Structure 1
Amino acid sequence: MRGTSKNIMWGLGLLPEDEALIRSVGNAEFTLISLPIGTIPDAEAMDRDEPSIIWISKSAWDALKVMPTTTTRHLDITPRVLLLGGEYSMLELEEALDNGFTDVIKPPLTESRIKDVLLRTAETHNLYHDIMRMTREICLERELLERKNDILSFIVSFLSRATESLEPEEILQSAQEELATLLPVAAIGGICWVPGTGRDLDATLYISTQEEHPAHNEWKELLLGGAEKLTGKRVSAYATELLSPIDATGHLMPESGKVAILPLKTAGETFGAVALLTRTELHLGKDQVQVLKSAMKHLALALRNAMLYKQMKLHADLDGLTLVHNRRHFDKRLNEELERHARYNQPLSLLMLDIDHFKMINDTHGHQAGDTVLKELAALLRNTLRNTDYVSRYGGEEFTVILPHTQEQDAAQLAERLRLKIAEYTFMHDSTSIPVTISVGLAANADNHLESADLIAEADKALYRAKEQGRNRVCTSDRCFRRLASVAS
């Protein structure tokens, strides 16, 4: 056992400047023991020092990976932080997350990042002591053995499942299933946003009821209201993701008196909330409250990490000029949406848009003017379409729009409104007005029988028809739709 009141940290292969910064930030509560690359403290040293956290440089990690697991496996029981210095790849980042690192820090290492890690280390340390205290109570009160064992099993299972994915909806899905083993949970909903961003919030809602059912709106209003109450800010924009319901019907209303709104916090910042709907009014014992609080702390940490990872992936999936999704991500998303809509037997439509005579715009006004038109057109699409619709730049001057839960006729009306809005919009470059129109090809997967390649080919064929029929119109592969009258007229 260590003979100091301070918690001990180990540092493996740290750069001198990183070592000095970590030592300085943690000085009040932590003592840092720094070891060179290749020096691995044994299990006996682990028992003696009881390190709260291990800081590992990338060079030290590279050395650890080639060592026998019998030499290094005792390090896995302590939270580990990987410091990525210099060059690294996305594959290395994913490998680090797969290897159970609590945190992966990209350069430069800052005082705020170190404080954040140490704060979460203290929370993990407190959770560990909570578990140990509960275990001692089990030993002292044999009549409660079965219930205490169930609680301990829940904690282990909950923490394990919360960290096995970096997708927020999968994490919440696992939390829903795990919480149902502890409490009479009938359904769960969630909302997450990026903390500290402006006067309004841009959020993602996670709901287990279909959009067309009245319960969906009830859950939506509950979550949006919960976010506003927690932050004092309005949710001005949001997207919705579906969770699989616990209840077979999937249409449970969030009844008053049976719903608990639990905030999601990390490092003192609230970034979301979870709404639990229980089958009866909830009356928790002291131990259940403690376990639930611990579970929410780790759920918050898992969801925050997932959001950061999703933001990082999002930047890789965006077209650099227009800031809508790129072709690679469109192909992936279309396959996912087709599978989801086939599973629930729901319609889906696809629009393929092309700027008419775009080469003439470039030749007449210059390529910078063409770039301006592409960027403003993408912004118009984002601001006009629903939050559930998915816009991407397919290539050159072509854009695609995935329209979930949308029949062909409704998609045609939306496409026609887009066509008219773009035709009436004033595109400006260097004080010069540039007239722009679009041709739109529409394909609908009404019977859920088309593969992604077939749906794209159908939309492309429809776009060709629109251009063949004179451009500035909306067509399917076999007909064109009547154009709306101009607002000006």
Structure 2
Amino acid sequence: MPDNSIHELMTLLREYGVRTIDDRAGDGKTGFPVTVPLGDGQSIILDLPAPSPLNCLDPSQLGVAILDPNGKVRRTWGLANQLNLFRSNQPLVDSAIGSLLEASYQGSHGSLYLDGYRYFSAGLPNADSTDAFLLVVNAQEERNAKRQASKSWRIANALKRLGKILTMNQQVEHISVAAAHEIASATELAAVLVWTVDPHDNFLRLAASVGANRAGTNVLSKLAVEGGSSCVAELVATTRNSFFTQDVDDHMMTCELEAKFCYLRPGGASVHPLVISDRLLGVLELIGREEDPYFEEHQELFQTVAEHFALALNAAIIFEDFEKLATHDALTGIANHRHLQEFLHQRVLEAARTGQELGVIMLDVDHFRSFNEEEGHDAGDEVLRLVADSMKACVRPYDLAARYGGEEFTVVMPGSSEQTTLAVAERIRQRVESLAYMTRSGRDRHITVSLGCACYPNRGVDAADILKAADVALFEAKRTGRNKVVTFTGQTAFEGRRDDLNLPALLAWLPEQDRAESEDLYGRCLHDVVALSTELNLTAMQTAILQALVRVIPTYRRVKDQDAEMMERMLAADEFRLLVPSLNALEDRYEEKGNLTPLLARALAAILAVIEGQGKPFADDPNRYDPEIMAMVLQRKRAA
């Protein structure tokens, strides 16, 4: 189109009130430029009061802004009119969208998400400069999607981290502390409190806390499980229902405690019962931060976390129960023989490293066998429980009270001198002596105990030596009258008669006609004797006694009383007393697999019977030697 024709067209447009960008120079007003092609590569740029191509769109969802080269707003339309960003008279090159404007002035396109709105930019040539054209879109859906994605990531991340620490811990205390820290960190809470139910008194005890000051944890250290309503944790424990409030300051159940014990300013509270199969395990309390926009949205997450935590807590409780069964005596509730040996071994190593002393007490209930026979096994069990309770009441929390076996008990006291050990032993003796058991006939029977004491390192260099020394002292206490405390001095009346352990003399009274048969029987079970000696790590004396015992048992009932007494004294010697657990384990294996020959089984039965104080193991009844009789001996021992 010729230039004069273009000029005529522009004149005509002005007559109808349509401006072009050439008119801006005359009045300084700025509109929205719209390019109209005229053919032959020519065009004119209209300066319209509104972006007409967008008139069909919703101005509340879409807007346009034109900014001059300095970043000042020339014109706005639609959604842009509602934004404070474009109402400023200051250049926007230093604002949050400054980088977007700079790119536009340099001829680049770009976009930016800011505060729920999406900005699209482009350069707009204008004479000898370039304006910035901004298209503003309401990005509420995008914002919601981002928030949902962020929420989903936070949930997934929190569950992943929580799951990892829950599977790595198998004790209630450890899992509670780890979970409290991980939940607080993953979900950015002000405080997390974990209560667990104490099975002994059915109270809630604070197992772990994060973000709570000492004053708050002291107040909340112990709560009622049923009927309590002094705080929100008690309420949740009683009702078994979750609790939520948006602001702890505004709720009567949280305004006095949760609102005041957090180091950070608290916001809402989300409290959940930890329940498995209708059994309350504890309470999980989560306190949000002030003005946390995600806290209310995370209620589903918190519920899921509580459910996962309850499962892990239940697994830890079961694990501890099984662990206790493995290390504690089922009848008395104190440590068993296995745990005693492990504990004593570790404490002796620790004492050797630190140079401290260590006291050991061996304790035996006087005349327990006769009491058991006269009053029954139930009464005997009750006596053992009373003695165990007396021991626990007399020792420190870090001492170990254990059942050694049968009616024998042991106390291990790290850091205790010989004088302290004797004092504790005497305290136990007096406490037990003060007990009175009412029999079925209605009369009171007083219980007494004999105690032997030994101290590391003066009376032994390792765990076995200390136990042996205390056991020898116990033997002396029982031999010299019972109901007394004796400390190990290095020699006992029994040790003074070592010449009685005359093995050749023991074999000499075997009748001549039985010796060939005895040697033949012994030869057939020699392999088992050697295997037993190796497995139990027997000393030379123990092995010799066992070999002699195997030889003479078949004809024992024909020996004289004084010879039988000598043999029983051999078996009662401390050489064999420390072997009881190993012999028991071997007997169990014999019963199940039959690895040992009957002759050797008789020998083991004799050893166990004498060591455990069941009286003379040999009688005129030849059936006494049968393996079935041996099994009955073991069953009676276990029942006790």
Question: Which TM-score applies when normalising by structure 2?
Answer: 0.37
> Which entry has the higher C-alpha Rg, 1 or 2?
2
Structure number with greater CO (CA < 8 Å, separation at least 6) is 1
